[in-house]
Chains A and B, each alone.
Chain A
Amino acid sequence: MLELRLVQGSLLKKVLEAIRELVTDANFDCSGTGFSLQAMDSSHVALVALLLRAEGFEHYRCDRNLSMGMNLNNMAKMLRCAGNDDIITIKADDGSDTVTFMFESPKQDKIADFEMKLMDIDSEHLGIPDSEYQAIVRMPSAEFMRICKDLSSIGDTVVISVTKEGVKFSTSGEIGSANIVCRQNQTVDKPEEATIIEMQEPVSLTFALRYMNSFTKASSLSDQVTISLSSELPVVVEYKIAEMGYIRFYLAPKIEEDEEMKP
């Protein structure tokens, strides 16, 4: 028996909108600690990890660990039927092959039940080690989204370089090139507008803008985005979800390589 009651139902709606472009089918894992998801995109270049901790739910009951395979587009369709202020309750019976989304209007005058068929998904669960990153950039998520969008109109890839001066996003394409530098800026009135760079050592990595743009779909979840970079690791683009969890996108960097290296 599974019953998760999420007062801020819009969070779930936003989460779905954020990841459904990247991943079409995924297993939601429910355990005593929370509601989580890990999935790779079809090309195995990016990975999305979602965690909604149990404490974040108004009511969280998960009798036993449960993995529910869902088509995220279908799930998003159903969640779109929920109002932004609705309370969403996820219910599933043990051994059932369906999941039920219940939407309650804030005034409790309308209750909608949507039952969705589950699917069997062979998912490869990857172990993601906790790592020290050479550079961690925290910046306004809207700013990051804007940068990615702008750069993708010029080039396909972005080079993210962190130096002590700031973080530089650069790209080049047929029409030209672009560089955007964001300096550290903590002297703002609002903390969500701050740009904070924690750098152990300079790092510069290249990523496909396509994925970055896809990640920024989660910008509505959080005012701030955290970008963690290490030369040997995938970049982590993390959006905090209220106080209850996070959505993290991992993206493998483009590797500097000559053509000859290819078979």
Chain B
Amino acid sequence: MAGGAVDQSLLDLLPQIHALFSDPLRVISYKWLSRNFSVSSNDAKRLLQEFVNKNGTDLQVIYSVSGWLKNNPQNYCVKLTSGPKLEEARQAFKDSCSVQVYSIQASIPKDTAVLWNPEFVQAEELFNQPFDEENCLRDNRFCGVLNSFVKRTSSGKHVSSLPPKPINSAGAAAQSKPSIAPKKQFVTARQQDLPGLSSPKQGAGNKSEKDNSTVFDKAGNALVVKEPSVSAHANKNKAQNGKAIPGNGGSLSNMWGRASAKPKPPATTNSTASAIVAATADAQICEKEEAGADSSDDEQGIKYKRGSSSANDRKRRAVFDFSDDEEDDNIIRIASPELPKQHGLDPVTETAEDTEANPKNSENKDDLPNSVKDCSRGVDSEFTSECKTKSVSTVNHSGITLKEKSIDPPVNDSKQDSTAEPASTSPKRRKVLKTRIDDRGREVTEVVWEGEASAGDKTEKNVTTTAASGATLPSKPQPAANSDKSRAPSKAAGSKKPAKAGTKQGSIMSFFKKV
């Protein structure tokens, strides 16, 4: 925490922060601030500190406290804590812990997801920008980890596999090194894996990011302890590290995104671009997820957080498929049985499975060939998040195979989902993809979190997974029929009553006029 030297140029931002803060629902985190004003995270933190110093009374501060725990000196802990509890939190740490402002807000949100939401939205926006546009996420300019051997370009040609040298302001600097290093290596490893594959796709990027964080978690597990009480925060912090650090990962994913874009027909580039963006956004979620998956059961806070945030942010995604022949009959698509191309398998997923699920994978490839081109964004997200779900349950990706997905009958599929789930650390919530055709004839893929509570969703769930599995199959008819069926009854139900009488209730107003 550096109260001290804050540039005048930074101080000029204070009025703006004040203006932002006047929105009572807004959470201003240093990360958001940093991206928004293109200042470094450290500056952003100082800025927030400055703001707190000046207007400390009428705002709530969330601090991030990091350091070595007293009761568990082996573990480096990063903890988010609210202002009043700061001292208490500090007690748990050894002498020299670092305290920084994480965010300021008018009130402490009940749902920790709110803390993270604006950042996520922002990240999504940033990744949404065109490729040639530089932004702080693309070029990773504020990454806490710098390495002179790493050359950052937005096209991401170059990634060094040297262990990075962290200069993390979080005070975690030296300590976090070990956890980062393996991660980096892992990245490289993945990278080496990938070229062997026919056409690594953008999703691979995020996949590997995900993997990174998995490994990160694994490697870091020894080092980083997550306290249940603050697990959400801690994880978030970590994820945020993860996000910043694999800023490299970000450009990696860009690179892979490029690579995959090539085999696609030009028509699809649009959707590809958005796919990449979303994929990377997905990746962020993945990271968090992975982080959550590794930790213990008491991580439900984090699930909840993600659940709600995903509900907020990614409620609905319209997928416009601009690819060749289907362009004109989006609507017919609902029922048209032959759509193998539309839902071809995704190399991403292959890469996800490649190490452990090779035999199955090869079968997948059989399904694959002609479809690679056509992967729509929807499919990407489906798969990536499928993988996500899976990797949540089985961190190392074993046991999840697209093959299972595509071959199992839908019901089993969903069952399998749910059976796989208990194995995971979080039986309570899971990510489900809902693919449906909306009233405008577009295929909409929703990634939603479903909890146990929503028993009513279960049928929906089934349908969804059906759709998902159908998507991987070359034969579309099943989901189509399914969705048809699922809407047919409702329609029938709707029309039942009127139909029964074959009549419509007239209005008295149509007979008598107003005086």
Contact = CB atoms under 8 A, between A and B. Distances in A.
A251 B509 CA distance: 10
Contacts of B502: 256-258
A255 B508 contact: no
Interface string A232-263: 01100000000000000011111111110110
B508 A46 contact: yes
Interface in B153-186: none
A255 B163 CA distance: 78
B503 A256 contact: yes
Contacts of B515: 125-127
B434 to A, nearest CB: 28
Given A125-B515, A127-B515, A44 B507 contact: yes
Nearest to B511: A234
A126 to B, nearest CB: 4
Interface in B131-160: none
Contacts of B501: 156-157, 206, 254
Given A206-B501, A259-B498, A254 B512 contact: no
B456 interface: no
B440 interface: no
A121 interface: no
Interface string B474-515: 000000000000000000000101111111111111111111
Interface of B: 495, 497-515
A128 interface: yes
A253 B506 contact: yes
A45 interface: yes
Interface in A155-208: 156-157, 206, 208
Given A259-B495, A259-B498, A206 B503 contact: yes
Nearest to B491: A259
A258 B505 CA distance: 12
Contacts of A157: 501, 503
Given A45-B505, A157-B503, A257-B504, A252 B510 contact: yes
Contacts of A233: 511
Contacts of A250: 508, 511-512
11 contacts: A40-B509, A43-B505, A43-B507, A206-B501, A206-B503, A234-B511, A255-B506, A256-B503, A257-B504, A258-B502, A262-B504
Contacts of A127: 512-515
Interface string A101-141: 00000000000000000000000111111000000000000
A126 B495 contact: no
Contacts of A126: 508-509, 512-515
Contact of B507 (A252, A256, A258): A252
Given A156-B501, A254-B504, 9 more contacts: A43-B505, A43-B507, A45-B505, A45-B508, A46-B508, A127-B513, A254-B501, A254-B505, A255-B505
Contacts of A221: none
Given A126-B515, A259-B498, A44 B508 contact: yes
Q: Which 6 A-B pairs have the closest CB atoms?
A: A254-B503, A252-B506, A126-B512, A127-B515, A257-B504, A252-B508
Contacts of A54: none
Contacts of A234: 506, 508, 511-512
Contacts of B510: 252
B506 A254 contact: yes
Nearest to B497: A156
Contacts, number: 74
B504 A255 contact: yes
A47 interface: yes
Contact of B514 (A45, A124, A129, A206): A124
Given A126-B512, A259-B495, A252 B504 contact: no
Contact of A257 (B497, B503, B507, B508): B503
Contacts of B513: 126-127
Contacts of A125: 514-515
Contact of A45 (B500, B503, B506): B506
Contacts of B509: 40, 44, 126
A45 B507 contact: yes
B508 to A, nearest CB: 5
A181 to B, nearest CB: 21
Interface in A210-239: 233-234
A254 B506 CA distance: 5
B504 A261 contact: yes
A186 to B, nearest CB: 31
Nearest to A211: B505
A128 B512 CA distance: 6
Contacts of B504: 254-255, 257, 261-262
B241 to A, nearest CB: 55
B514 A40 contact: no
Nearest to A128: B512
B508 A47 contact: yes
Nearest to B507: A44
Contacts of B495: 259
Contacts of A206: 501, 503
A254 B510 CA distance: 12
Contacts of A256: 502-503
A206 B499 CA distance: 14
A151 B459 CA distance: 37
Contacts of A156: 497, 500-501
Contacts of A255: 503-506
A126 B515 CA distance: 5
A136 B326 CA distance: 62
B404 to A, nearest CB: 42
A47 B509 CA distance: 9
B272 to A, nearest CB: 39
Interface string A27-51: 0000000000000100111110000
A47 B507 CA distance: 10
A127 B509 CA distance: 10
Nearest to A157: B501
